[in-house]
Chain A
Amino acid sequence: MTTRIPAIDGWFTTAGEPALLGTRCDSCGSYFFPPERMLCRNPACGSTDLAEHELGRRGKVWSFSINHYAAPAPYVGKEPFEPYTVVAVELGAEQMVVLGQLAEGFDPATLKIGDEVEVVIEPLFTDDEGNEHIVWKWRPVR
């Protein structure tokens, strides 16, 4: 049986609705992704009270890049290689841009800046023991 392992711990939900996990400062309200747990990075604040916060699930494409060559390790690409797309997404409430790969099954040629996308949890790669490593990706809403 395939085991699903988060490719990184604590950055996204692994049950229920897919969502990115960030933090929000209890004192000034600033948002952080990846989750900042040490200190609020607003230099006018500096509070240590940071609470977990599920980032908005939908956003708009700020820009994207279609990679035609495999990145070096530790990236694990498809065999044989397939071009893959990295999307930068603007989140409305958090007013921040978050990167992620484009979800499986979407032709990046049809993607445009300003398109609405939503976060999904999908396989990133399968390791030699057959474990499926999962990660967040952005899926166009159509």
Chain B
Amino acid sequence: MSRDVAVLGVGMHPWGKWGQPFVEYGVKAAQDALADAGIAWRDVEFIAGGETIRNGYAGYVAGATFAQALGWTGVPVATCYAACAAGATAIDIARSRILAGLCEVALVVGADTTPKGFLAPTWADNAADPDWRRFRLLGATNPTYFALYARRRMELFGATEEDFANVKVKNARHGINNPNARYRKEYTVDEVVASPMVSDPLRLLQICATSDGGAAVVLSSMDFAKQHGVADPVRVAAVSTVTPTYPNTVIEMPNFSTDSAATVAQPELGFRDAIAAAAYEQAGVGPDDLDVAEVYDLSSALELDWYENIGLCKAGEAERLIRDGDTTIGGRIPVNPSGGLACFGEAVPAQAIAQVCELVWQLRGQADGRQVEDAKVGLSINQGLFGHGSSVIVVR
């Protein structure tokens, strides 16, 4: 039995720093996705919302908040939080409902309004919160952790500041024609390496910003898509939401330590490798089948890690890929044709959905100005705080 579901529609509210309630972005994205699908809101049989934790109670119950804004229809709802993985988890819930036969057509929405500057703990004075503790005891911001990984790459694989800068330059060039991107400006390597140092070795232009934005997808059963007159929809072939396997030996936000490998052998695959492996296994495809990927470039250096995690090359070879232009549009395997987080900044509960929107446009041949030729298989990947895997494979 096929476990595919159809993507009938996608929609986004442009990323930016608009300062409006997150609901507005979610509603706009939802309406665009519904229009793209040719589905009326009142015909949606399930809604899943990605939760935002920085917008008060309405954000905690985002699914119902969007449903209320679109007009109560009695539609069943779920809201989920998985940090950066929230969107993929919401997609997985909707997909599971469809595959279980509990509904035919579902809407998934994520949107965020973000504060300026570093993301900070949401509870003002809760010393029991690990997120609070890492700020208090270490001053460990998110870029602090990205910088640990970046320096590790420099030490182990000889990555240079220019390599990281080249990722930014590539993504900036990709995103320049994307109407939903927040930063649509070309950069040179010199400009990137002259930007202010934030968390050494990472500079401002190598770290993703926090943004406002919204993204939505309409999913349906394959039968429904056929009856709806869509014979050849883009299909979701896999959603990977795996957690790490003990012992997880890579330091993860917001932890103070890794697991100990003293008594239990390390798993064959590290966590990020395992996220991709689970997606590939579900979809029945491998890295060689990929035509395009959207990976979470929270930092430019982290994009290089993802190349290896999703099997585009062996460990230590990612620098060669960026140097040779393999991951540029027109290269062997374009990565982040949308412009990635480098051009978007992160709108946490919307971002994983936005990755899927881009892949769908790519597979439909609708990615004007940034189209990857003849894309048939696309993968998105990211990871939520504390250990939430997030990867979606779409095929056509």
Structural contact, A74 and B260, CB atoms closer than 8 A: no
Q: Is A96 within 8 A of B196, CB to CB?
A: no
Is residue A98 within 8 Å, beta carbon to beta carbon, of the partner chain? yes
User: Chain A residues near B264 (CB, 8 Å)?
Assistant: 28, 30, 42, 44
What is the bound-complex CA distance between A44 and B267, given in angstroms?
13
Partner of B139, one of A25, A63, A77, A108: A77
Segment from B95-103, B113-121, B162-170 that makes contact with A: B113-121
> Are B149 and A67 in contact, CB atoms less than 8 angstroms apart?
no
A67 touches B139 (CB 8 A): yes
Neighbouring B residues of A63 by C-beta, 8 Å:
147-149, 151-152, 155
Nearest Cβ on chain B to A11's Cβ, whole angstroms: 8
Residue B314, interface by CB 8 Å:
no
User: For B75, what are the chain A residues with a Cβ–Cβ distance below 8 Å?
Assistant: none
Q: Which of B50-58, B250-258, B340-348, B374-382 contacts A (4 or more CB under 8 A)?
A: B250-258
Q: Are A73 and B246 in contact (CB under 8 A)?
A: no
Are B262 and A68 interface neighbours, CB within 8 A? Answer: no
In this assembly, does B227 line the interface, its C-beta being within 8 Å of a C-beta of chain A? no
Is B144 located at the chain interface by the 8 A CB criterion? Answer: yes
Contact string, B261-285, partner A, CB cutoff 8 A, digits 1/0? 1111000000000000000000000
Question: Contact at B256–A99, with CB atoms within 8 Å?
Answer: yes
- CA distance in complex: A7, B132 (Å): 12
B141 and A95 contact, CB distance less than 8 A? no
Interface string of A8-35 (1 = CB under 8 A from B): 1000000000000000010011111110
Show 19 residue pairs from A and B whose CB-CB distance is below 8 angstroms, ordered by the A residue.
A8-B137, A43-B246, A62-B148, A63-B151, A65-B143, A65-B151, A65-B200, A67-B139, A67-B141, A67-B144, A68-B198, A68-B199, A72-B117, A72-B120, A84-B139, A96-B257, A96-B260, A113-B155, A135-B137
**What number of A-B contacts does a CB cutoff of 8 Å give?**
140
Do A71 and B140 have beta carbons less than 8 Å apart?
Answer: yes
Name which of B117, B120, B134, B144 has the most chain A CB atoms within 10 A of its CB.
B144
Which B residues lie at the A interface, using CB under 8 A?
A: 117-118, 120-121, 124-125, 127, 132-141, 143-145, 147-149, 151-152, 155, 196-200, 202, 246-247, 249, 251, 255-264
Interface centre among A62, A65, A66 (most CB of B within 10 A): A65
Among A52-85, those with CB < 8 Å from B are 62-77, 84
Question: Would you give the shortest CB distance from A86 to chain B, in whole angstroms?
Answer: 5
* Interface bracket on A: 35 or more
Given contacts A30-B263, A63-B151, A66-B199, contact A71 B256 (CB under 8 A): no
Q: A65-B144, A76-B136 are in contact. List 5 more A-B contacts (CB 8 A).
A: A33-B257, A67-B139, A68-B196, A71-B144, A97-B251
Give A contacts to B, CB under 8 Å: 7-8, 25, 28-34, 41-44, 62-77, 84, 86, 88, 93-101, 108, 113, 124, 135
* Cβ contact of B148, chosen from A29, A42, A88, A95, cutoff 8 A: A88
Chain A residues within an 8 Å CB radius of B133: 8
For the complex, give the distance between the alpha carbons of A70 and B118 in Å: 9
Q: Is the interface of A mostly helix, strand, loop or mixed?
A: loop
Do A28 and B152 touch across chains, with their CB atoms under 8 A apart? no
Whether the pair A99, B251 counts as a contact (CB closer than 8 A) is yes
Instruction: Closest A residue to B149 by CB, please name it.
Output: A63
Instruction: Tell me the complex Cα distance, A138–B249, Å.
Output: 20
CB <8 Å contact, B260 and A32: yes
Query: Cβ of A71 and Cβ of B137 under 8 Å apart?
Result: no
Minimal beta-carbon separation of A83 from chain B (angstroms): 8
When distances are taken between beta carbons in the complex, the residues of chain B under 8 Å from A135 are: 137
B263 contacts which chain A residues (CB < 8 A)?
25, 28-30, 42
- Does B257 contact A34, Cβ atoms closer than 8 Å? yes
Chain A residues within an 8 Å CB radius of B132:
74
Name the residue among B134, B152, B263 with the largest chain A CB count within 10 angstroms: B263
Instruction: Choose from A76, A84, A97, A124 the contact partner of B249 (Cβ within 8 Å).
Output: A97
Q: How far is the CA of A7 from the CA of B147 in the complex (A)?
A: 25
Measured between C-beta atoms, what is the minimum distance from B36 to chain A in Å?
38
- B182 CB to nearest chain A CB (Å): 21
Residues in A neighbouring B137, C-beta threshold 8 A: 7-8, 124, 135
Given the complex of chains A and B, what is the CA–CA distance between A17 and B249 in angstroms? 28
Given the known inter-chain contacts A8-B127, A31-B260, please indicate yes or no for A71 contacting B135, CB distance below 8 A: yes
A residues less than 8 Å from B121 (CB atoms) = 74
From A34, A66, A71, A96, residue with most partner B Cβ within 10 Å: A71
